[in-house]
Amino acid sequence: MTHTTLWRDARLVTLQPGSAWAPVDDAALLVDAGHIRWVGPLADLPAALAPTIQAEQSLGGAMVTPGLVDCHTHLVYGGHRAAEFELRLQGASYEQIARAGGGILSTVAATRAATEEQLYASALPRARALLAEGVTTLEIKSGYGLSAEHEARCLRVARRLGQTLPVTVRTTSLAAHALPPEYTGQPDAYLDAAIAWLPQLQAAGLVDAVDAFCETIAFSPGQTRRMFDAARALGLPVKLHAEQLSNQHGAALAAGHGALSCDHLEHLDEAGIAAMAAAGTVAVLLPGAFYFLRESRLPPVAALRAAGVPMAIASDHNPGSSPGLSLLLMLNMACTLLRLTPEEAVLGATRHAAAALGLGASHGQLAPGCAADFVAWDLDHPRELAYWFGRNPCRRVVRNGVETCL
Ligand code: NIG
Ligand code: FE
């Protein structure tokens, strides 16, 4: 039983559409049953709400923003790929390693060899590292199991993380990530199997969305379409790893299925941008993978901006292309490498990231009716979230109205 609590003495950055970028001084949040009932300068608190206050908490004059949303991670896997990193530094490409049976498939082998408990034990500190920087909502994809049994294990681990830690977890089935060895040369037979097990995973409450990797080293646009048709028939929203290494026109395909997001997008073209704009699909940019794969082709940020496509930023945490565990570092890289403004980067890890998960109405901003997920920072201005790197200014985290222990 939580009390209706007035969180006061905040320098507040609500990130509501049209809100000020600079903090609002002497602001407060009225929180009731895990949700924000009212937010604004304390002097404006409606008189009718004052008698509902049962407890008060001071935020000590700290800058307060919505909790961060990491909307694209592959957090649950076995092993690591440091040896592959060495190979790439010696000249092998990500694609060459994948075609030689390394890459994602080496993580599939390590994931299958691990027990569910081991998968949980290895993912737990990774999730904790993200949470320590103020993440309160986290997407976790499967995609390293690639069988009904092993995909279910990874998704169960993801759900368990959301039950044990103070974080809202959204799970995404990424069975169409790579072709498992038992289906070599038979991608369509594998897709038939993956499509057949999707309803069971959904019935077990393990799937919030469906993703695919549309690429020459993964699945074709036609195969991606089959997976999307199956997902939509089950009422599941779709997302796509699109145009990361080449232009497969996957973004337009995904937008045609009403995709929540298209992610990576280094090779996105104008037609893909127009289709995403028309569908309201979020562009999730992943500076960690861009950096770690030493890509030189930038996603078309200026064109996305001009078309009004909302941009999100995520860690893409995974052992192959982005082994980082700092969403704040991704905000910095989004500015320095991808040329977002600090305001775009911060919106990209809050409001727009929530939209990429279908949570735009309830998360990623501080507004009445939204989850009471917020962070108090040792910072003066929100632009500093994208400015510092290698420093953690997160001081207090409140999730669903309850302060979490950092
Ligand atoms: O988002 N692009 C495909 N999937 C991951 C990488 C997976 C891996 O290399 O293990 C990504 O970059
Ligand atoms: Fe990814």
- Ligand 1 site-directed mutation target among 295, 321, 330, most atoms within 8 Å of CB: 321
Atom of ligand 1 nearest to the CA of 94: 9
One-letter amino acid identity for 29? L
Tell me, what's the ipTM? 0.97
Compute, in angstroms, the gap from residue 320 CA to the centroid of ligand 1: 6
Q: Partners of 371 in the beta sheet? A: 35
Say yes or no: 288 and 351 in one domain.
yes
Quickly tell me which residue has 């407060």 as its tokens. Answer: 28
Q: Determine the pLDDT at residue 2.
A: 73
Compute, in angstroms, the gap from residue 248 CA to the centroid of ligand 2: 16
Say yes or no: 11 and 93 in one domain.
no
* Structure token digits, residue 287: 């500076």
Residues 271-290 have pLDDT tens digits of: 999 999 999 999 999 999 99
Compute, in angstroms, the gap from residue 284 CA to the centroid of ligand 2: 10
Q: How many domains does the chain have?
A: 2
- Ligand 1 contacts CB of residue 318 (under 6 A): yes
CA distance 176 to 321: 17
- Of the chain, the end-to-end C-alpha distance in Å amounts to 22
Instruction: Give Cα 372 to chain centroid, integer Å.
Output: 19
- Ligand 1 contacts CB of residue 248 (under 6 A): no
Say yes or no: 141 and 54 in one domain.
no
Q: Partners of 374 in the beta sheet? A: 66, 398
- pTM to 2 decimals? 0.98
Q: Cβ contacts of residue 299 below 8 Å, gap of 6+?
A: 264, 265, 266, 268, 283, 285, 290, 338
Residues 180-237 have pLDDT tens digits of: 999 999 999 999 999 999 999 999 999 999 999 999 999 999 999 999 999 999 999 9
Q: Determine the pLDDT at residue 147.
A: 98
Q: Is the dihedral of CA 274, 275, 277, 278 positive or negative?
A: positive
Compute, in angstroms, the gap from residue 167 CA to the centroid of ligand 1: 23
Say yes or no: 385 and 263 in one domain.
no
One-letter amino acid identity for 64? V
- Ligand 1 contacts CB of residue 111 (under 6 A): no
Minimum-distance ligand to the CA of 106? 1
Say yes or no: 217 and 320 in one domain.
yes
Q: What is the pLDDT along the chain (406 residues), one digit of tens a residue?
A: 579 999 999 999 999 999 999 999 999 999 999 999 999 999 999 999 999 999 999 999 999 999 999 999 999 999 999 999 999 999 999 999 999 989 999 999 999 999 999 999 999 999 999 999 999 999 999 999 999 999 999 999 999 999 999 999 999 999 999 999 999 999 999 999 999 999 999 999 999 999 999 999 999 999 999 999 999 999 999 999 999 999 999 999 999 999 999 999 999 999 999 999 999 999 999 999 999 999 999 999 999 999 999 999 999 999 999 999 999 999 999 999 999 999 999 999 999 999 999 999 999 999 999 999 999 999 999 999 999 999 999 999 999 999 998 7
Say yes or no: 338 and 399 in one domain.
no
Say yes or no: 102 and 200 in one domain.
yes
Say yes or no: 191 and 247 in one domain.
yes
Structural domain boundaries, residue 378: 5-66+365-404
CA distance 373 to 134: 10
- Choose one of 318, 334, 356: the last residue of a domain: 356
Atom of ligand 1 nearest to the CA of 263: 1
The enclosing domain of 42 has a CATH number of 2.30.40.10
- Ligand 1 contacts CB of residue 107 (under 6 A): yes
Q: Please tell me the total number of residues recorded for the chain in this structure.
A: 406
Minimum-distance ligand to the CA of 139? 2
Say yes or no: 251 and 191 in one domain.
yes
List the strands of the sheet with 311-313, edge to edge. Answer: 239-242, 261-264, 282-285, 311-313
- Ligand 1 site-directed mutation target among 318, 322, 330, most atoms within 8 Å of CB: 318
Say yes or no: 54 and 93 in one domain.
no
Q: Determine the pLDDT at residue 339.
A: 98
Residues 389-402 have pLDDT tens digits of: 999 999 999 999 99
* Structure token digits, residue 90: 């010696």
Say yes or no: 273 and 374 in one domain.
no
Say yes or no: 124 and 134 in one domain.
yes
Q: Partners of 209 in the beta sheet? A: 172
Q: Whose CA is nearest to atom 9 of ligand 1?
A: 320
Average pLDDT over the chain, rounded to an integer: 97
The enclosing domain of 323 has a CATH number of 3.20.20.140
User: Could you tell me if 398 and 373 are in contact, meaning their C-beta atoms sit under 8 angstroms apart?
Assistant: yes
Pairing of strands 63-66, 374-377: antiparallel
